[in-house]
Amino acid sequence: MRGSVYYQTGLLAKAVFAEGAKKTERIDPNHPHYQKIASYRTLCTYREVWNNFLNYLKEHWGVKNAEEITGAMVADYMLYKIEYYPSEQYLEKISSALGKLEIALKHYTLSQYGEAREYDFSIRQEILDTTRDLDLVADNYHNRAYKDPELLIESLKDPHHRLAARIQYEGGARIEGVSLIKPDQLHGICHDPITKTDKGVIFTKEKGGKEGDVLIGVDTYIELEEHLKMNKTFKLDRRRYSHAIRSTCERIGLNPEGSHGLRWNFAKRRLFEYAKAGFTYEQSLQTVSWEMKHNRASITEHYLGH
């Protein structure tokens, strides 16, 4: 499929839209209107998600043809959205839209090639269900940075949870960046020219396959290093970790923002450190974005509540 993102989603919209189709037709596997969209308003809502999704694929995957979409790409996009602690309703809309995109691609390829190509985006529902279980969705948008992250970290009862939380807070790592760390990911001590202090370096591969260094305090690095001398890996049960953060917040009177809230704290602190080192606001935004394994500077503004 060639053309701009908007053009491609237009073709897919035509393939899956059947204005006024009855429900009995849309649930009948033998009817031409099976699984199609009958509401123009719903179609517009879904197409907006498709446009955003395809633009994301162009930037992060280099994919420009909607026919090349895979379940892995769908999973990556869902996880990307979850990173910003979306409302449950918003994530449900994305999941539904991507599910209908699967149907649209099947209808489109059937009309173009005489048979429908196989697409399986069922991973979207699995991720949605897991996200609900881990309390990674919210009721609305607000700033997720913790008012007292140090208190939260020190109040966690499990030393493994405290170490993981400190890595997220000091280095801005995502939860997948701390849930499994192997000895070969430790890259020693380096000098951070921004803060003019020494930092420990952990190499992580996170969402979307993005790789890079996470800089943490030397004491935290040494603690992790000591753990890995005694164990093959540093490994977390993400469900237990998320539950521990929530229950600890409730116990000490902080709003529970999940482990991702610690990344918000990192972004705010790191931006200030770059500004103090003489970087312009725009330079600081872009560099912090790269450190957090994003591409666009505007992503950092999200963490600032802009």
Name the domain boundary from 84, 102, 133: 133
Residues with Cβ < 8 Å from 75, sequence gap 6 or more?
A: 123, 124, 127
Residues with Cβ < 8 Å from 253, sequence gap 6 or more?
A: none
For position 306, what pLDDT does the model report?
Answer: 45
Q: Which domain holds residue 17?
A: 5-133
| CATH number, residue 26 | 1.10.150
Rounded Cα–Cα distance for residues 299 and 86 (Å): 15
Q: Are residues 290 and 176 in the same domain?
A: yes
Structurally, the chain folds into a number of domains equal to 2
For position 23, what pLDDT does the model report?
Answer: 84
For position 281, what pLDDT does the model report?
Answer: 76
20: number of Cβ within 10 Å:
9
Q: Are residues 196 and 83 in the same domain?
A: no
Fill in the amino acid letter for 187.
H
User: Does 144 fall in a domain?
Assistant: no
Check the CA dihedral 144-145-151-157 and report its sign. positive
Q: Are residues 68 and 97 in the same domain?
A: yes
Q: What is the value of pTM for the model shown? A: 0.57
Residues with Cβ < 8 Å from 35, sequence gap 6 or more?
A: 16, 26, 103
| CATH number, residue 296 | 1.10.443.10
Residue where the block lists tokens 């881990």: 134
For position 139, what pLDDT does the model report?
Answer: 47
**In whole angstroms, how far apart are CA 64 and each of 61, 68, 109, 282, 298?**
9, 8, 16, 29, 22
pLDDT along the chain (306 residues), means of 10: 94 90 83 87 93 90 93 86 73 93 94 92 86 56 78 97 96 87 96 94 76 92 96 90 90 87 87 88 78 58 50
Rounded Cα–Cα distance for residues 264 and 141 (Å): 13
For position 295, what pLDDT does the model report?
Answer: 53
Task: Please give the span between the terminal C-alpha atoms of the chain, in angstroms, as a whole number.
Answer: 36
Q: Are residues 88 and 58 in the same domain?
A: yes
User: Does 138 fall in a domain?
Assistant: no
For position 141, what pLDDT does the model report?
Answer: 44
Q: Are residues 89 and 125 in the same domain?
A: yes
Residues with Cβ < 8 Å from 160, sequence gap 6 or more?
A: 234, 236
Q: Are residues 193 and 290 in the same domain?
A: yes
**pLDDT tens figures, 216-257:** 999 999 999 999 999 999 999 887 888 899 899 999 999 887
